[in-house]
Structure 1
């Protein structure tokens, strides 16, 4: 079982065959994903590292991030 969000993302990507960029929880996920979007209610270190900060999760931030990325 993964120990961090970054490791979880690596596991999920490997399971689905999705390539990742070469690489404290949210920060490692951003670094691994290569997509620098943090959630508005996320850790400050993740927001500082991000290129863009979405709204908080409970303010439809995930939906807005997916729209920005063209996922939906």
Structure 2
């Protein structure tokens, strides 16, 4: 097992960035149940609201493509 390195390197090596991002995505979905229902009912444009909220919560540091992928999977 590798040890040491910068916090950024450790997070990348252990794949923790996506785990943390999934928690944020889960929180945003839970905080917007009505919008989640609208998305699931076919209003696919609502995903933009969720992406925006996740980006805001991450301080703009999340990868928007990854966020969109996670949201689509979790909202399906």
TM-score, with structure 2 as normaliser = 0.27
Q: Which has the larger radius of gyration?
A: 2
> Greater relative contact order: 1 or 2 (C-alpha under 8 angstroms, separation 6 or more)?
2
More helix by share: 2
More strand by share: 1
